[in-house]
Amino acid sequence: MTITHTISRLLVLCCSLLFFARTAPTHAEEPPLSYYDKITEAADYIRARWDQTPDVLIILGTGLGHLAERIEADVVLPYEQIPHFAVSTVESHAGNLILGSLEGKRVIAMQGRFHLYEGYTPQEVVFPIFVANRLGAKRLFVSNAAGGMNPRYERGDIVLIEDHINLFGCNPLTGPNDERLGPRFPDMIEPYSHRLIKMAEETALSLGIKTHQGVYVGLLGPNFETRAEYRFLKGIGADVVGMSTVPEVIAARYLSMEVLGISVVTDMCLPDLRETADHDLITEAANSAEPKMNDIICGVLKQLD
Ligand code: HPA
């Protein structure tokens, strides 16, 4: 055997060893958990700490977290303790799941929600809806702070969302569909329940609270819109604009949950007024209009069977 021959055999041997060292599993790899299984793990974790069946999941939007104080809480779970929950990064969002009773109904309240502009995937944003539904919640009450584009609205007004337009450019239901969760092509003809809107209107009327019915358009953000965009959004039929709600409502309807959506108008988005939008002012306006919204939510809860 020549020396060149020996060297080339040694080289082949070294390369093979290197190849196997890189590809051989160092430990038995677990298959990744499916979305369905992640929901199961999160729901099991919550059920072990709160053995009730919730009637409603309530999502408290920006500056709208005080309803939590009216809940007789049995358990408060920070999001970071719940398996597979993302963690809220917006300062005004507390990031707790509150489990308890409100107006005699069992509720789960999300104090703080996940926004797409924070960098979460659409599936992470809507994960809590799936978990609440797995625990038995058949209804979603969702609130948000929104910019008013309808000139009949005023800052501090309450808008009962009657329909929405999805301009996020994404959807939480894309990807392979798990038929155990819902249908491939869910219907969206009545995303917001007319029955719940009527109950909310009657409650508001009896309390002397002015409400509107309007269309919510959801955008990715995080920048507020340009004046040309406000003109466009109003032109396509939207009354209020915000950066949330639509993904959650799509997921809830996929799960056949009955939805009530409420916007608090925190600033007016009339292009010719040239008012600048400011997050602190929006939070302040949401805080001061919030008691009206909370009264409506409590009134509807009271009427639920
Ligand atoms: N755009 C404009 N104004 C707003 C928004 C928004 O997304 N959210 C709350 N006020």
Residue 14 in domain: no
Whether 78 is in a domain gets the answer: yes
Ligand 1 centroid to Cα of residue 106, in Å, is 31
* CB neighbour class for 2 (10 Å; exposed up to 12, middle 13-18, buried from 19): exposed
Q: What is the pLDDT of residue 13?
A: 53
- What pLDDT is attached to residue 276? 83
Residue 268 Cα to ligand 1 middle (Å): 9
Q: Is residue 155 part of a domain?
A: yes
Q: What is the pLDDT of residues 26-38, one digit of tens each?
A: 556 788 899 999 9
Q: Is residue 202 included in any domain, yes or no?
A: yes
Distance 66 CA to ligand 1 centre (A): 20
Nearest-atom index, ligand 1, CA of 62: 9
- pLDDT averaged over the chain? 90
Domain count, the chain: 1
- R_g over Cα of the chain: 24
Pocket test for ligand 1, best of 269, 280, 281, 287 (most atoms within 8 A of CB): 269
Quick one: which atom of ligand 1 is closest to the CA of 219?
7
* Alpha carbon of 244 to ligand 1 centroid (Å): 10
Residues of the chain short of pLDDT 70, as ranges, are: 1-28, 88-94
pLDDT on residue 7: 57
6 in a domain, yes or no? no
pLDDT for 271: 87
CB 260 within 8 A of CB 293: no
* 265 CA to centre of ligand 1 in angstroms: 9
Domain interval for residue 48: 34-303
| Closest ligand 1 atom, residue 221 Cα | 7
Residue 254 CA, ligand 1 centroid: distance in Å: 26
Which atom of ligand 1 has the smallest separation from the CA of 145?
Answer: 9
- 113, 165, 224: residue to mutate for ligand 1 pocket, most atoms within 8 A of CB: 224
φ, ψ for residue 58 (rounded to 5)?
Answer: -115, 125
pLDDT tens by residue, 204-258: 999 999 999 999 999 999 999 999 999 999 999 999 999 999 999 999 999 999 9
* Distance from the alpha carbon of residue 267 to the mean position of ligand 1, in angstroms: 7
> For the domain that residue 101 is a member of, what is the CATH number?
3.40.50.1580
pLDDT of residue 179: 97
Residues lining ligand 1, judged by CB closer than 6 Å? 145-147, 224-225, 241-243, 266-267, 269, 277, 282
C-alpha to C-alpha distance for 104 and 82, rounded to whole angstroms? 26
Which tokens hold the place of 13? 């041997």
Q: What is the DSSP string of 37-78?
A: HHHHHHHHHHHTT--PPPSEEEEE-TT--GGGGGSEEEEEEE
Percent of the chain with pLDDT over 90: 77
Query: How far is 225 from 49, CA to CA, in rounded Å?
Result: 42
Task: Report pTM.
Answer: 0.89
Q: Which atom of ligand 1 is nearest to the CA of 267?
A: 10
In-domain check, residue 225: yes
